[in-house]
Chain A
């Protein structure tokens, strides 16, 4: 029997924008609701992010088995590994699909890159692009394929916006314009503020409000 296709969410964004921390906030919320996930972490120079998530989400919190957090080296080409040649990521996804059919969702984190990052539709069904306020409130109107094309734009580190002179209202306005009203969510991944909205988008737009494959035991 052919493996069942598991929905995939791609998360991309510049270095330090908070991709890993966003995943670390999303997974516990999904886990509480009974959803089982796996994480593939593409990294430019190390397996550090995968190790960190393995430590935080698997080893310490026990939210998923350690083998479901997988690091993929990209030969210095993180954008290539999720866009024009996603072969290695697709292989890892297919291996997960054949071994762990109970999974509800697979997260694929791209290595930090520039604002032109996008995910191949063959790899990710839904694309979240994350930026933060430290680049200034001009960031959304600078455009770039990631900001314009993603299904959900997440703007992180809103707590420090006043200290870097970033006006969130301007960012919201510009994001609406350049993204033709596609959704934008403001978060503080450090505290988790706003992350529940990101999870709602995922459940609605990726899982189509489906219940977890494995029913939650009361």
Chain B
């Protein structure tokens, strides 16, 4: 009988843990504006693909993924000042209040959870201290980068997990909003693989001075969502 030689380690288990929607960060309550769009437009499966794709290319890739990469590098270099700069830069780029606060809340809870089982990483502790003293926000992609570094997960894989998690959160929202069915969701995730991969590879090493985002239509949707009188999702 032949056995494949597959090396697996703790990092792989941590990778599964952190990319599991069961990990408690509250992301299941976000739709990233999809709830608002679904109120004004009858959406189909292909619309969800394009919606997520646009987000990945125009927002999550060049800003969130790039910030994660910079946060990770700052941890590698034990450079808290650089880490706080990444935190501040990304926070400043979150234009809409409800997305800003949701991201900060999720990031803070993520760090609190991880710090219950990771005790020996000074950068993790220092970042949390900076948050508690008001010198950092703990915004989600930065916290995610710090957490993944603390768990020994490779930077590229951390980027993949961030974008995959974002994708799944919108697919989950689309399912609960009744836009798509469960098989559709998995098909869209499958079809988005090259977009996710390309976004990570293009942005994970982007310098903090070059991070950007440009999706005015999505920003307006988020703003309109903020003003909705009746809503199921936080964003």
Contact = CB atoms under 8 A, between A and B. Distances in A.
Contacts of A46: 229-231
B15 interface: no
Nearest to A95: B105
Which bucket holds chain A's interface residue count? Answer: 20 to 34
Contacts of B172: 75
Given A74-B29, A87-B25, A47 B105 contact: no
A106 interface: no
A73 B109 contact: no
Contacts of B28: 75, 77, 80, 85
Interface residues of B, number: 23
Interface string B72-103: 00000000000000000000000000000010
Contact of A73 (B22, B24, B132, B231): B231
A205 interface: no
Given A80-B28, A87-B25, A88-B26, A75 B234 contact: yes
Nearest to A81: B29
A48 B230 CA distance: 7
Contacts of A47: 229-231
Nearest to B31: A75
Contacts of A44: 232
A28 interface: no
A152 to B, nearest CB: 27
Contacts of B29: 73-75, 77, 81, 88
Interface in A60-92: 72-77, 80-81, 84-88, 90-92
Nearest to B234: A73
Given A47-B231, A91-B108, A76 B176 contact: yes
A87 B230 contact: no
Contact of B232 (A75, A87, A88, A90): A75
Interface string A39-62: 000001111100000000000000
A115 B234 CA distance: 25
Interface string B194-235: 000000000000000000000000000000000001111110
B150 interface: no
A72 B26 CA distance: 11
A140 B193 CA distance: 49
Contact of B24 (A48, A74, A85, A92): A85
Given A77-B29, A88-B26, A88-B106, 17 more contacts: A2-B132, A45-B230, A46-B230, A47-B229, A47-B230, A47-B231, A73-B29, A73-B231, A73-B232, A85-B22, A85-B24, A85-B25, A87-B109, A88-B105, A88-B234, A91-B26, A92-B105
By Cβ-Cβ distance, the 3 closest A-B pairs, closest first, are A75-B29, A91-B105, A87-B26
18 contacts: A44-B232, A45-B230, A45-B232, A46-B231, A47-B229, A72-B234, A74-B232, A75-B29, A75-B232, A75-B233, A76-B176, A76-B232, A85-B28, A86-B24, A87-B24, A87-B106, A88-B105, A91-B26
